[in-house]
Structure 1
Amino acid sequence: MSYPLEKRELVAEAPGLRMQILTLAAGQEVPWHWHSEVTDTFWCMDGPMVIEMRAPREVVELAPGQMHAVPARRAHRVTGKDGGRCRFAILQGIGTYDFQPVGG
């Protein structure tokens, strides 16, 4: 799945594991999606950032230095707080990566 980002930096990738740094410009988002196998572990670098999740509904706000993990099969999306800019590291694994989009 491709969606607009200010910047994507691949830090490391091995079978079943990937680490990236993503920068969202103001107004950008990682749209609603879920993964079959991988957990997304987020570390806020510049923020604040917001992770919204479904089933059950939950909203987590991260300040720089904070982290949060979203387990496989849980729908989520990521934005900067109030549509602002944010930058975060994301560790995706362990398992085969996929991006399953869901309605907003």
Structure 2
Amino acid sequence: MEMKEFYYEDGIRVSLFNLDHQSVSYHYHHTVSDMIYCAKGAIDIELPDLQKIYHIVEGQTFQIPSCIKHRFANGMSVGERSRYILLQLGSFDIEFASNSSQLEKSLQNIHKVNEPSKAVYIEDRKSDILNVAAQFSNKKPDVLDAEEVGDVVAGLRCFVKNGVEAEFPGLELETA
């Protein structure tokens, strides 16, 4: 797994992940939600609190509310890589779950749900996100290659296109 974190200004954080078959540990955020755009391959989004695994493919977006334990895994066959763009709005925070093996076991018999692209909640940041996309189009960050920059710009534009200018609605769940 390769994480490239390259933008965090004015409450907008953008990262790119190239996934092999290692996963980020289960974690959650208190103040931000994760919005992802699948740029290449397929991503499995494991949500043990909801007892669901969502499978999204290239071009689709998905958003995880704050306080929900989750991790992202490569949804392709072994040897095939996937890529996703992560967008977070607000003050970044992260808490790693201490019981990852137990959470992983809780999802062993869960079937993946193939969900179509859903709206993402981008607050009132549409113009800010478009400005970041324009900035990357004009001058690529040093840590990204040309293909990755294209994927980031496409992802940010997709967040805006599918974005609802409101905060993510709360969920009535027992969380982290």
TM-score greater than 0.5 by the shorter chain? yes
Is contact 2:48-2:70 (8 Å) kept? yes
Is contact 2:42-2:55 (8 Å) kept? yes
CA deviation vs aligned residue, 1:54-91 (integer Å, no higher than 9, x gap): 32211111110001000110000000015552100010
Distance 2:11 2:23 in 1: 24
CA deviation vs aligned residue, 1:7-36 (integer Å, no higher than 9, x gap): 4152x32132201111112x2111100001
Alignment partner, residue 22 of structure 2: 28
Structure with a larger share of its residues in helix: 2
Taking every aligned residue pair, what percent have the same amino acid on both sides?
A: 26
Distance 1:90 1:22 in 2: 8
Alignment partner, residue 55 of structure 2: 61
Alignment partner, residue 168 of structure 2: none
- TM, length-normalised to structure 2: 0.51
- After TM superposition, what 4+ stretches of structure 1 lie above 4 angstroms from structure 2? none
- TM, length-normalised to structure 1: 0.83
From 2, 15, 27, the equivalent of 1:6 is 2
Distance 2:31 2:67 in 1: 7
Question: Which of 1 and 2 has greater Rg?
Answer: 2
Name structure 2 gaps, 5 residues minimum: 101-176
